[in-house]
Amino acid sequence: MRALTWQGLGDVRVEEVPDPRIVDPTDAIVRVTSTAICGSDLHLYGVLAPYLTPGDIIGHEFMGVVQELGANVSNLSVGDRVVVPFTISCGKCWMCQRGLFSQCETTQVREYDKGASLFGYTSLYGQVPGGQAEYVRVPHADFGPIKVPEGLPDERFLFLSDILPTAWQGVAYADVEPGSTVAILGLGPVGQLAVRCAQEQGAGRVIGVDLVPERLERARRLGAEVIDLGDGDVAHTLKEMTQGRGPDSVVDAVGMEAHGNPVAKRIIAMASRLPKPLAQPAIEKAGIDRLDALHTAIDAVRRGGTVSLSGVYGGAIDPMPLMTMFDKGITMRMGQCNVKRWTADLLEKLVDSDPFGVDDLTTHHLPLEKAPEAYKMFQEKSDGCIKVVLTP
Ligand SMILES: NC(=O)c1ccc[n+]([C@@H]2O[C@H](COP(=O)([O-])OP(=O)(O)OC[C@H]3O[C@@H](n4cnc5c(N)ncnc54)[C@H](O)[C@@H]3O)[C@@H](O)[C@H]2O)c1
Ligand SMILES: [Zn+2]
Ligand SMILES: [Zn+2]
């Protein structure tokens, strides 16, 4: 089959690879009809390179049709249309029973002391072949895949694999209350959906922050007030807009590659280029994140407010303003999305309407063969790119 493989820093290629096969009786093989590129894939393209091996199949946002089933999968039939959550969870263990699907104790990657395995996401997360491919082996298919109705385009349901529940969880973890004010830092695909999720969860005001004009413009169309990162001190502006107090909640939908710290940018780039045995400790033991968005969130949020991190961070000794965090009495929540925890609620809302604006989030539909160009475009945010969907 054809699949997108990681080959090195900033180097992905579509290649011929062996077709996946059923290995465990709880596996399924899914023929992919649509697969998206995520901001998390951009970390693989750069910072997380030391955890990949040339030839790894990447991608974790995909949907398609069930092609083949292991003997113990009775909840699906061949031919079903399914979306597959990017977190691989068993549905039965202690963590899964508590809705903490991204911490599944059956698929945890103990070698690296990490949570649940993820599709297409480095050795830290199980090195499971990903979804930017014609076919995917889906482990724990007796629990994971979400059946979706026929009749609507893939884009209506595709984002249930990751970014829609991620945005929903980011807002839910931000303790949004009816009428409260939420700032969303980063208006990439996750931030765009978070704007709508915040409105849907009852926020009175949503303020979005980014530096890319078309991303700011789309958020404004969705009903958010917006701040351009280029216009100066974001935390100060957020306080000015909220009687000096700061927003009740701040969602960081940016993560470790935030714009705004050239020195950290150079250090990250250097760490990613070191030989593997040196690069991994540099990333795990050193603070390698660009913390601009996170520090803005902590500075801006009102006293007693909540900061929720959807953006991914990786460093172990990143400097944190603990005095401010303590003095302001901030609550912080974070983590990989517990996808299935939110599936039923979200799917119900998607069946006959589009409350989250998923139908027009995709700016570029391209064949899988164009994935290398698509990664570059999404990383550079060129050609008005907000979200890319690839068709194998
Ligand atoms: N927690 C999870 O389960 C989960 C799931 C999916 C994605 N993510 C993470 O969410 C983050 C966003 O993903 P995405 O797909 O929207 O990616 P993206 O890279 O397109 O979006 C990030 C946006 O932040 C903006 N930005 C950069 N620096 C900023 C700053 N200092 N202040 C405000 N905005 C800034 C960029 O211009 C960009 O629009 C990534 O870190 C990704 O890894 C987490
Ligand atoms: Zn993703
Ligand atoms: Zn589990």
Atom of ligand 1 nearest to the CA of 259: 28
- Atom 25 in ligand 1: which residue has the minimum CA distance? 186
H or E segment and range at residue 235? helix 234-240
Best substitution site from 161, 209, 210 to test ligand 1's pocket, by max atoms within 8 Å of Cβ? 210
Determine the pLDDT at residue 288: 64
Best substitution site from 190, 231, 388, 389 to test ligand 1's pocket, by max atoms within 8 Å of Cβ? 190
Q: What mean pLDDT is reported for the chain?
A: 94
Atom of ligand 1 nearest to the CA of 334: 1
| Better pLDDT: 265 or 76 | 76
Tell me which ligand sits closest to the C-alpha of residue 237: 1
pLDDT digits (tens, 9 = 90+) for 104-113: 999 999 999 9
Domains of the chain: 2-162+338-391 (3.90.180.10), 165-334 (3.40.50.720)
pLDDT digits (tens, 9 = 90+) for 375-390: 999 999 999 999 999 9
Determine the pLDDT at residue 199: 98
Q: Which range has highest mean pLDDT (257-261, 270-274, 365-369)?
A: 365-369
Question: Does position 317 have pLDDT exceeding 90, yes or no?
Answer: no
pLDDT digits (tens, 9 = 90+) for 260-312: 666 667 766 777 777 777 777 766 666 667 899 999 999 999 999 999 999 99
Atom of ligand 1 nearest to the CA of 234: 32
- Atom 43 in ligand 1: which residue has the minimum CA distance? 40
- Atom 8 in ligand 1: which residue has the minimum CA distance? 311
Question: Does position 72 have pLDDT exceeding 90, yes or no?
Answer: yes
Determine the pLDDT at residue 175: 96
pLDDT digits (tens, 9 = 90+) for 187-220: 999 999 999 999 999 999 999 999 999 999 999 9
Whether 90 and 29 have beta carbons less than 8 Å apart is answered as no
Determine the pLDDT at residue 283: 66
Whether 309 and 334 have beta carbons less than 8 Å apart is answered as yes
Determine the pLDDT at residue 50: 83
* Residues with C-beta atoms within 5 A of ion ligand 3: 89-90, 93, 96, 104, 106
Residue 129 region, left (φ>0) first, then alpha (ψ -120 to 50), else beta?
beta
**How sure is the predictor about 24, in pLDDT bands with cuts at 50, 70 and 90?**
very high
Instruction: Please compute the mean of the pLDDT values over residues 62-81 and round it to a whole number.
Output: 98
Question: How far is Cα 116 from Cα 324, in angstroms, rounded to an integer?
Answer: 32
Determine the pLDDT at residue 263: 66
H or E segment and range at residue 217? helix 213-221
Best substitution site from 236, 310, 386 to test ligand 1's pocket, by max atoms within 8 Å of Cβ? 310
- The C-alpha angle with vertex 320 and arms to 274 and 285, in degrees rounded to 5, equals 30
pLDDT digits (tens, 9 = 90+) for 323-363: 999 999 999 999 999 999 999 999 999 999 999 999 999 99
Q: Which residues line ligand 1 (CB under 6 A)?
A: 38-40, 42-43, 162-163, 166, 185-191, 209-212, 215, 229, 253-255, 258-260, 292-293, 310-312, 336-337
Residue 244: partners with Cβ closer than 8 Å, 6 or more residues away? none
Determine the pLDDT at residue 264: 65
Atom of ligand 1 nearest to the CA of 185: 33
Question: Does position 168 have pLDDT exceeding 80, yes or no?
Answer: yes
Query: How far is the centre of ligand 2, averaged over its atoms, from the C-alpha of 86 (Å)?
Result: 7
- Atom 24 in ligand 1: which residue has the minimum CA distance? 186
